[in-house]
Amino acid sequence: MEIKEFQNLIRKMYYDKDAGRGLRETFTWFIEEIGELSRAMRTNKNIEAEFADVCAWLFSIANIKGIDMEQAVKRYANGCPKCGKLPCICEV
């Protein structure tokens, strides 16, 4: 699935609910999902599902903010946004 397709799918599934909840509360859910991903990585259980959930919540936030994620990820198209290299040669 392409980035734009995924963002549109998430918009169709969740936009009304997420927009009604509001940005702050939707962001809180996103942070909770990151915690679940962390737990999954420690226990080595449901890791793929938790990565998918984190992506879905991130894209929901992007939808609320009107961010085109396909456009946004182009920031990395030519290498590291800071040093411009691929692979990155930044110190940190």
Q: What is the pLDDT of residues 43-78, one digit of tens each?
A: 999 999 999 999 999 999 999 999 999 999 999 999
Look at residue 83 and tell me if it is in a domain.
Answer: no
- Residue 35 domain boundaries: 3-76
Look at residue 46 and tell me if it is in a domain.
Answer: yes
Q: pLDDT digits over 23-48, tens only?
A: 999 999 999 999 999 999 999 999 99
How many domains would you assign to the chain? 1
Look at residue 41 and tell me if it is in a domain.
Answer: yes
In order, the DSSP letters of the chain are --HHHHHHHHHHHHHHHHHHH-HHHHHHHHHHHHHHHHHHHHHTSSHHHHHHHHHHHHHHHHHHHT--HHHHGGGGTTS-TTT--SS-----
Look at residue 89 and tell me if it is in a domain.
Answer: no
**CATH number of the CATH domain containing 35:** 1.10.287.1080
Look at residue 66 and tell me if it is in a domain.
Answer: yes
Look at residue 63 and tell me if it is in a domain.
Answer: yes
Residue-level pLDDT at 92: 86
